[in-house]
Chains A and B, each alone.
Chain A
Amino acid sequence: MITRRLHPSEHAWAGIPGCAEGGQQQVRRTSETQTENRGADAANLTEQGEKLQDDMDALIDEIDEVLEENAEEFVKNYVQRGGE
């Protein structure tokens, strides 16, 4: 299930329109399908939106596969000396 997370404590964040799926559809509409016939748009958009969601689902599954195990321990142990 997909939930929409908000960041009420961070006012700057309220301005970000759709970080997740909604945002993607919006991108398509503004940058790539601008010149298309508006009548055919709605159906296309639904189809494209579903395709994008499927792609993103697959991508997130792949991230889970490659992500280091024991993330908490791993991140805690990553300590560098300053450089430059």
Chain B
Amino acid sequence: MASSMIIGSETEYGLTVQNDPEFDSIATALLLVNSYNADQSLKLLWDYDQEDPLVDARGFELEDEYDIPDQQDNMAINKVLPNGARFYVDHAHPEFSTPECSNVLDLLRYEKAGERILNLSRIGANQLLPVGRSVIIYKNNSDQKGNSYGYHENYLMDRRTPFQTIVERFTPFLISRQIFCGAGKVGSENGTDYVPYQISQRSDFFETEIGLDTMVKRPIINTRDEPHADRERYRRLHVIIGDANMSEYTTYLKVGTTMLTLHMIEDGFLTEDLELRNPVRALQAVSRDPTCKLPVQLKNGKQLTAVEMQWCFHEAAQRYVATHPDCNPTYPDILVEWGAVLERLAADPMQLHREIDWVMKLHLLTNYMDRRTSDWDDPRIAMMDLQYHDVRPDKGLYHVLERSGAARRMLTDEDIMRSMEEPPEDTRAYFRGQCLKKFKNQIFGVNWDSISFNLGEGPIKRILMEEPTRGTKQHVEQLLERSETAADLVANLTT
């Protein structure tokens, strides 16, 4: 039976440079990644030896070439931070991956720390740009013109769980969870029918049920099989369908309910048949119904609304938590918030205008339109849709709401500031983060599941960390304390 689950998120940010007609997204992303704590930045490699992104969970291996950057490029595009996170350039976007976390509250504080790290990078980068130009960064998923960039959640599952079971049980959850996870979007894209506003930023971009792609023909269930951990024991489920959220409460509920649901799937606890007749169509229909009242067709002939589907998962979760006293300590609270949100979605979704991003945005836009006698085709409305996600504390509209008390918080500012520097204490990210602090000049390369040291003479020493629940403060604090140098550490580990 599952007792722990390691989780993390990866956020790709949108960006632009004001007053730069020749804006180059790759150069700007590079500049950003190299502008965070530039004077203390570490020169180390991201260790691609351990990566295998073209392996498929269904058992195939693709033959496409996968480019591994040369050493100079590698150091420029990858930064590993002392809090255990990775900050890097992915294609044309800056991307922030949280360290490995054991619970949703930790994931939330690292994801929010990532937003602040991006903002500090922006301030650093602006000092290197000509006067009058400045970088603007958005935590969203679409440019409103058919180009989408991702927000990926990762849940490390027991490999014994059959992948087909995950596909069957998890797909209806992903489709119905939009009603409390969506970041909200004005209009539609990617050749879909027009709507003035919809719940999800991403749903227009999903075209198939299952597959390995993330950039074209995006699948509801992504099959990338790259555990960054012991392959015999673990499968990292790579969830690519979610929106990046600004609201702390929305991220909390999104990741918390998803983790709990995957734990139930892992333990064979979900038995109700909620398979959809046409998952892709249902995904888009749910996103386009801000009343949350539209029924969708199940394979077994029944019709349920997204709220009703979520009540099925919630009801199972209630029994699960009641019968699993050793479950993750965050689950009882997640269960309470989940139920409260479903009740309000059923009564009137607009009641969630302090909690759920898509409702917060819609509430703001409709009040704006009412007071300024404007409508959905007003360019200021599209601007607000974008600027809601601006990471600048003075300009971002989410931040304006938060300052005025119109956004429900789950964290304190101190939680977030601390998470910019300190790694989580109960995963291997602790070992990575502390090594980066203590032995930074002797680290040669890092990956999620290894750290290698250059001890000056002899070969590079690589320490493998295939078990993400080890390397915690409890496991390694004393080891780190009695190792003055990296050579001591390696010696202490091997004797």
Contacts and interface: CB of A to CB of B under 8 A. Distances in A.
Interface of A: 1-5, 7, 10, 12-13, 15-21, 23-24, 26-27, 30-31, 55-60, 62-64, 66-68, 71-72, 74-75, 77-84
Contact of A19 (B347, B350, B372, B400): B350
Given A13-B290, A16-B290, A23 B350 contact: yes
Given A75-B379, A80-B14, 7 more contacts: A4-B370, A16-B350, A31-B351, A68-B395, A74-B383, A81-B93, A84-B148
Contacts of B90: 83-84
A83 B370 contact: no
A84 B350 contact: no
B366 A20 contact: yes
A55 B400 CA distance: 13
B349 A81 contact: no
Interface string B317-353: 0000000000000000000000000001001111101
B164 interface: no
A16 B379 contact: no
A55 B386 CA distance: 23
Nearest to B401: A59
A63 B400 contact: yes
Contact of B349 (A16, A20, A75, A82): A16
A62 B364 CA distance: 12
Interface of B is mostly: mixed
Given A57-B371, A63-B364, A83-B90, A75 B215 contact: no
A82 to B, nearest CB: 5
B147 interface: yes
Interface in B128-172: 143-145, 147-150, 152
A33 B97 CA distance: 42
A7 B196 contact: yes
A80 B142 CA distance: 8
B148 A82 contact: yes
A82 B92 CA distance: 8
Interface in B175-196: 195-196
B397 A66 contact: yes
Contacts of B400: 59, 62-63, 66
A67 B380 contact: yes
Contacts of A66: 387, 394-395, 397, 400
Interface of B: 12, 14-16, 25, 90-93, 95, 143-145, 147-150, 152, 195-196, 214-215, 240, 288-291, 293-294, 344, 347-351, 353, 362-364, 366-373, 375, 379-380, 382-384, 386-387, 394-395, 397, 400-401, 404, 406
Given A31-B351, A81-B147, A60 B215 contact: no
B122 to A, nearest CB: 15
B285 to A, nearest CB: 10
Contacts of A30: 347-348, 351
B343 to A, nearest CB: 10
Nearest to A65: B400
A31 B408 CA distance: 15
A19 B166 CA distance: 37
28 contacts: A3-B373, A13-B196, A17-B348, A19-B362, A19-B363, A24-B353, A56-B367, A59-B364, A59-B401, A60-B368, A60-B372, A62-B400, A63-B397, A67-B384, A67-B387, A71-B379, A71-B382, A74-B383, A77-B16, A78-B386, A80-B14, A81-B92, A83-B90, A83-B92, A83-B95, A83-B148, A84-B150, A84-B240
Given A20-B367, A74-B383, A15 B91 contact: no
B296 to A, nearest CB: 13
Contact of B91 (A1, A19, A79, A81): A81
Contact of A27 (B288, B353, B364): B353
Contacts of A20: 363, 366-367, 370
Nearest to A26: B348
Contacts of A21: 367, 370
Contacts of A67: 380, 383-384, 387
Max count, chain A CB within 10 A of own CB: residue among B149, B370, B375: B370
A24 B231 CA distance: 51
Nearest to A18: B350
Given A15-B291, A75-B383, A83 B353 contact: no
A10 B196 contact: yes
A68 B291 CA distance: 30
Nearest to B354: A27
Given A66-B394, A66-B395, A83-B150, A3 B144 contact: no
A16 to B, nearest CB: 6
Contact of B147 (A7, A17, A79): A79
B290 A23 contact: no
